[in-house]
Each structure stands twice: as C-alpha cells, then as structure tokens.
Amino acid sequence: MTTRVNLVLPALLLLAALLALTVGPDGVSPRLLADALAGTDPAASIILLDIRLPRILAAALVGAALGLCGAALQALTRNPLAEPGILGVSAAATLGATLTLYFGLAAVWSWALPLGAIGGALLVTALLASAAVRTQGMASLILIGVGLSSLCGAVMALILNFAPNPFSLSDLINWTLGSVANRSLADVATTAPLILIGCTLLASQRANLSLLSLGEAAAVAHGLDARRTRIAVIAGTGIATGTAVALAGAVGFVGIVAPHLVRPWTRHDPGRTLLPSAWLGALLLVLADLLVRLLPTQNELRLGVVAALAGAPIFTMIVLRRGRTAHG
C-alpha cells in the first residue's frame, strides 16, 4: 500500500505542476508550453520559466519540507497534532526574516532576508537540541518550544507596532502571510540544497521513528538511542523549516494535514508516513498556489492565508475526531 502511495502521489504532483504551468487567468493554454519549449515565443518563455516555474518549484519544495517535518515531529512526539510551529522553529524563522525587513538590511543586501530566516530557525534549533540532551521526555521540550514561539510572536508584534511607516508595515505583514509570488529560479536554487539537507536528515531517522511508536521505553530496550534520534529530528526540522520560511514566508497547517491524510494508507507506521507526507505536502501547496493565481481578486491572496483557510477546518475535524475516539 505504501509503495502504491509513493507512486501515485508523485504522479499527481507532476500532473498538478503541468496544470499550473499551462493554466493562467485567461484559462488553459497548452500552446504556451509548446511555444516555450520550441523557443518560438520569447513572451511564453518568460511567463513559464521566469514566472510560473519558480512559483511551482518553490511551492513544491516548501510543501514537501513542511509535510515531512510535520510527519517526523508527530512521530517523535507521538502526537498527531504536532507540526513545525510547535517547537517555535517557524516563528523564529519568521522573526529572523522580519528583523531584516525592519532594519532595512533586506533592501541593501539580497541575502539578508533568507539568512535572517535560516539564522533564526537554526538559533532556536540549537537551543532545542541543547535542551533535548538535558531533558528526558518530550513534554518538557514541547513546553520549551511553546515558550519560544510565544516569545518570537511577542517580538514580532512589537516590531509591527513600531513599524516606521505604512509601507514598512505592509512589507512586514505580507511576509508573515506567506507567498511564493515573485520568486526566481535563483531563489529556488539557493534554498533547495538546505531544504534537501534537512529532509535527508529526517529521512535517515525513518526506522528509528517506526521503532519509537512502540513507546520510548520499549524502543530504548530494542536498542534505540532516543536522544540521538530526538536531536536529529529537531535539527532536520530546524534546517528544513527555517529554509522553507526563508523561501515562502509563514505557511501553516501543511505539517498537520498532510501526515494525517496519508497515515491510513501507510498502516499508521510513522516511518512509512514520512515520504508520502512530503509528496502530499508538495501537491497541496502547488494546488493552493494555483488557486491563488486563479482567484478573481483585486489583490492576490497570500499562500499562507489560503493554506490556513483550507487547513484550519481539517485541523478542527482532527481534534474533534480525536476527542470522540478518546471518549468512545
């Protein structure tokens, strides 16, 4: 069943990417793709290669990173409601990015914003990794993450409150809403290696996460190094999530929804859920960004807003279903 899912989801992702390439505000235009490939229409090449393709690749990378990070964190905490934001990594990355905007660093150096986001994520990741060595259970670690997330949120609110002018306030708010618009192939090429490093680190813990589903005590009895696994998952989550925020801003709920949807098809095995969650996360964000482009709004909706509007009801359903199961 898992093998079939790992074949079907990439095929659907490819179809969604082709659809996103050929569909625009004026409808379906497959000839645009043919003209771009043939090199007969420079405008077609600009539309596809410089505008649409970077958006598709960025959405797929961010969705895959968030889906994989969510599945890994849910396996580590043995809580299906866990996601990258639970440890404060997303909030720290967003704070790092907004700081570069607030102080004007992003305007004078193009690398400032992505480095700020990655730096914020890695700083919190280092703090969490240090805490993971000293704490014996995940409950304390989650509480530390919640505290860090609240602190980052408070600092971000302070920054927004002291924005020097309406234009700066608009830039700060737009970044926190999440978007892959106006991304270039250079942006994708810069961030993709770090996302792949983080995802590879998470994927390397597949067997350990499956073993951890037996319970930490039983897993340790079977030879699991719980601390090493915890640190590896936290580090991978920090690198992948921080870089995803650097590429697209804050995008929520993908890390919760994707693992939950694929879990029944992977026999609820945490290790087997990792890769399908990445595929589905990529598929969901590519489709969400396509919807963003096609909606007839005066100002383009932000990807993070659409993801939240779609993900929040599903998240509520998950919580209600867990409540009924617990009381049943």
Reduce the secondary structure of 3-41 to three states and give it as a string.
HHHHHHHHHHHHHHHHHHHHEECCEECHHHHHHHHHCCC
* Angstrom distance (rounded) from CA 137 to CA 298: 49
Domain segments of the chain as ranges? 2-20+28-327
What's the confidence (pLDDT) of residue 166?
74
What's the confidence (pLDDT) of residue 133?
67
What's the confidence (pLDDT) of residue 137?
65
pLDDT tens-digit series, residues 261-312: 999 899 889 999 999 999 999 999 999 999 999 888 878 888 988 888 888 7
What's the confidence (pLDDT) of residue 141?
75
What's the confidence (pLDDT) of residue 326?
52
What's the confidence (pLDDT) of residue 322?
65
What's the confidence (pLDDT) of residue 59?
97
How far lies 122's CA from each of 40, 236, 274, in Å?
46, 10, 22
pLDDT tens-digit series, residues 65-97: 999 999 998 898 887 777 887 778 888 999 998
How far lies 251's CA from each of 93, 127, 139, 199, 219, in Å?
12, 23, 25, 17, 33
Cα R_g (the chain), whole angstroms: 20
What's the confidence (pLDDT) of residue 325?
58
pTM of the model: 0.89
What's the confidence (pLDDT) of residue 219?
85
What's the confidence (pLDDT) of residue 271?
93
Tokens for 64, please give them. 């895959």
Tally of CB atoms within 10 A around 158: 10
What's the confidence (pLDDT) of residue 34?
73
Residue 161 main-chain phi, psi, to 5 deg: -65, -35
CATH fold, domain 2-20+28-327, is: ABC transporter involved in vitamin B12 uptake, BtuC (1.10.3470)
Q: Which residue has the tokens 């970077």?
A: 54
- Residue 289, H or E segment: helix 270-294
Which residues in the chain come in under a pLDDT of 50? none
